[in-house]
Amino acid sequence: MKTASMTEIRQTANPTTAEVFRKYTPWVFATAWSANRTALIGLFCFAVINGLAPVGLALVAREVINTLVAVLSNAGNADALKPWLALGFTLSIVDVTTRYANNLCNERLREDLNVTIASRLIKHVATLDYAYFEDSAFQDALQRARQSGAGQAAGVVTEALSALHCLVQAIGLFVILVAIDRWVLYLLVPCAAPYFLFRWYLAGARFRLEYTRTTRKRWMNYFMSCLMSRVTVREVKIFDLAPLLIDKFRNLMREFKDQDRKLTWQHFNGAVVFSTITTSVFYVVFIRVVFLTASGALTIGDTAIFGGATTRLRATVEKGIESIARFRRQILSISQLVAFLEIKPILEPGRRSESGHAPQGTVEFDAVTFTYPGSVRPALRRISLRIAPGETVALVGENGAGKTTLVKLLARFYDPDSGAVRIDGIDLRERTYDAIYKEVTFVFQQFGHYEATAAENIAYGNWRRFMNDRKAVTDLAQRIGIDEAFNALPNGYDTLLGRVFGTHDLSGGQWQKVAIGRAFARDAGILVLDEPTSNLDARAEYELFTQYRNLASGKTTIIVSHRFSTVSMADRIYVMDAGAIVESGTHGDLIAQRGCYANLYDLHQRKMNG
């Protein structure tokens, strides 16, 4: 069996610069293009326009000042100011309006990316095997993927185009300044390059820090859920766990705060050093320009725009470097989303959608051995058993004996390491999941309490058929004995159940009837109950199983239970121990054998009798 592995995801914890630009950047822009190409084109155009507008305004200001000086010295005509003033007004309007248009396009792209990426993520999650969800490394990868959603993708586009905008503007301003005094050429790059490398390093450091925090962030969410969930809040209050959980939460918060503070100070120190050096350098060059103007080598207009252009160029370069740094951090986060979307299912889906004959309901385990990923001890050891059509079989054994593992293999949550699991003689590995779940339905110990209406809670078992067929839902509710409870609710079958969004709940026994109703909604020939009534008392469980057996008449049934009053109703009982079947037979046969089953039964009876 191919086991679940997070190796591929761990290898992307620190993608190289080449990978960033070769793989992940094209992925983001291709996704943005598919989400809203009009907005993306608009953002690109506005980035260029917004970058050129300040350059144009600087040139206009230079000509206006030089022309005005000429007019004041009676060497020029005031009418010469009109075209430059008109051009300046036009560029100012363009600059302002394109900024608002840029914000509009950015918001539209972010909204559409949110729909595209969120949909792609949840669709992909739905294709992955059950085994992944039992892997803590997968949970970390899923957490990172969820954090690297539309916001990060939109941020990549925004920061990339912001860097383009700064580049266009910086080149224009740089050309103007070099034309005035070429010393700018010799001083700017030596000042900017170290700061660029510093911010590039900090962006990578921030990403690596967030990467290592994933598990601890999940712990923080866990502590919060324990304090806020109605499932755990009762014990939290009774055992006074709140101070302990809050302290654990605060310790993690303090750790994060200290780490963030260190990076913040590094960023602050680097920004101050860069600003101080560049401001000093540009001011020295500005003094040189002032003296050149005084000597007549440059015009007053040159001096006027040089001061403003140097200030703007320094700010533009700093903003551009910051955009590139944020771009790197966000694209590194996106690498985690892309890596998650590249995870492949462990189990190869079968291709047979039909068995070729009418379903019989025969279940067979043929020399099945299975070991959970990461474990060294087999959970099942050469299990062989055959369940005939219409037969009711019970699986009995202590915790860890392998009963639920057997059920997981029948659901094809895993494939056996060796041997085969067959339904009607066909290996499950040859069949599609739809074909398997048409013939087998399950009620698990931890069944769903869905935040949905009473009718929907049953319809979810076969929603394509039942969601729009209220009569089918009510007929099934009557069969499982929950109809009266539903009708007693304020809005009957349309009452929202659960305490997360609604105000009405069911009792434990009623919820279990609903879970059984979902199982029967599928109308499968093979029914599996994996200790779904463990929270009921013995009498309630016996009554429920008696009703269940009447409903399941003629169907192949597999029952996993610790309650001997229940398993004694089975046609045959398999006793499991340490992943192997050690006994089988009827209740009477097994009691007469005085073996493992009889010992368990005696212990059960002593417990029941006090």
Give per-residue pLDDT as tens, 562-602: 777 778 778 899 999 889 999 899 888 888 888 888 888 88
Residue 185, pLDDT > 70, answer no
User: Exposure of 440 by Cβ count < 10 A (0-12 exposed, 13-18 middle, 19+ buried)?
Assistant: buried
Residue 244, pLDDT > 80, answer yes
* For the ranges 12-16, 100-104, 148-152, 348-352, the one whose mean pLDDT is highest: 100-104
What is the DSSP secondary-structure string of 144-188?
HHHHTSHHHHHHHHHHHHHHHHHHHHHHHHHHHHHHH-THHHHHH
Residue 303, pLDDT > 90, answer no
* For the ranges 45-49, 185-189, 285-289, the one whose mean pLDDT is highest: 45-49
Query: What pLDDT score does 414 carry?
Result: 92
Rounded mean pLDDT of 452-458? 92
Query: What pLDDT score does 538 carry?
Result: 65
Decide whether 7-341 matches 363-608 in CATH topology: no
In tens, the pLDDT along 128-182 reads 888 888 888 888 888 888 887 767 888 888 888 988 988 888 888 888 878 887 7
Give this prediction's pTM: 0.78
Rounded mean pLDDT of 59-76? 79
Residue 250, pLDDT > 90, answer yes
- Find the range with the poorest average confidence among 9-18, 190-199, 217-226: 9-18
pLDDT > 70 in the chain, percent: 92
* Six-digit token string for 2: 């191919």
Rounded mean pLDDT of 505-509? 84
Rounded mean pLDDT of 95-116? 89
CA-CA distance, 587 to 567, in Å (whole number)? 8
CA-CA distance, 347 to 429, in Å (whole number)? 8
- Find the range with the poorest average confidence among 117-121, 232-236, 440-444: 232-236
Residue 2: pLDDT band (50, 70, 90) is very low
Residue 477, pLDDT > 80, answer yes
In Å, how far from its chain's centre is CA 362? 39
HSE of 560 in the Cβ direction (CA atoms, 13 Å)?
Answer: 23
pLDDT > 90 in the chain, percent: 20
Radius of gyration of the chain (CA): 35
CA-CA distance, 472 to 372, in Å (whole number)? 40
Residue 314, pLDDT > 50, answer yes
Rounded mean pLDDT of 295-308? 79
Query: What pLDDT score does 532 carry?
Result: 67
Residue 194: pLDDT band (50, 70, 90) is confident
User: Exposure of 372 by Cβ count < 10 A (0-12 exposed, 13-18 middle, 19+ buried)?
Assistant: middle
Query: What pLDDT score does 428 carry?
Result: 92
Average pLDDT score, the chain: 84
Rounded mean pLDDT of 342-354? 82
Which class would CATH give 363-608?
alpha beta
- Find the range with the poorest average confidence among 210-224, 275-289, 357-371, 472-486: 275-289
Residue 1, pLDDT > 70, answer no
- Find the range with the poorest average confidence among 40-44, 54-58, 331-335, 601-605: 601-605
Least Cα distance to 364 among 385, 334, 335, 350 occurs for 385
Least Cα distance to 94 among 60, 58, 46, 62 occurs for 46
Which class would CATH give 7-341?
mainly alpha
Q: Where are the domains of the chain?
A: 7-341, 363-608
CA-CA distance, 485 to 507, in Å (whole number)? 10
- The identity of residue 60, as a single letter, is V
